[in-house]
Chains A and B, each alone.
Chain A
């Protein structure tokens, strides 16, 4: 079965550069989530999108922006990179919630490992 695809898998950037991470959800999944996992830390929710609209926002720095496109893929844009941005960035996808009190399983991609030098 098709899984969540993230590209690139590895990325090395210098401080103050920009980076763009891409996420391709499972076919027919219309909701995308981004998480950041620092070295030795737990994943932290950054932002999510449903039908191209931002649906929720977590601890995402102002230097980061994200969007979802009409084919449901999403891109996380990171500017003015800092050493502390070095992390594993996960994308997950799910079907949209049918009810506000329901839950749909999130399927995670393999992650993009960003190293800022």
Chain B
């Protein structure tokens, strides 16, 4: 079975500060990993994905994530938070050979303060 765990349902940072959202996964086979962002009353937008190429993945809006197999982690970072980054962030995993469906973590609400 596959799953993802997001540590911290709420994260608050100051504008300009580092953003770090944590995601750990469990999978018996090499996973595909994703980060999605969801703004209030909107759909899911893909930020970035890891599909077994480079372990450091760069996404949109200045976000990046690093796949660390030894730590089973795929944490999302951004060097400098912007007010527009306030949203809900979901880590998701797709199991190799699992039909492409996504299993999501419980989400992390990011708040950016002045």
Known: A48-B100, A100-B97, A104-B100. A90 touches B43 (CB 8 A): yes
- Whether A48 contacts B99 by the Cβ 8 Å rule is yes
- Whether B94 contacts A103 by the Cβ 8 Å rule is yes
Q: Does A58 contact B (CB under 8 A)?
A: yes
Task: Point out residues on A near B: beta carbons under 8 Å.
Answer: 31, 33, 35, 41-45, 48, 55-56, 58, 90, 94, 97, 100-101, 103-111, 113
- Minimum distance in angstroms from A47 CB to a CB of chain B: 9
B54-76, CB under 8 A of A: which get 1 and which 0? 00000000000000000000000
Contact of A42 among B32, B43, B99, B105 (CB under 8 A): B105
- Whether B42 contacts A106 by the Cβ 8 Å rule is no
User: Which residue on A lies nearest to B94, using beta carbons?
Assistant: A103
- Whether A106 contacts B97 by the Cβ 8 Å rule is no
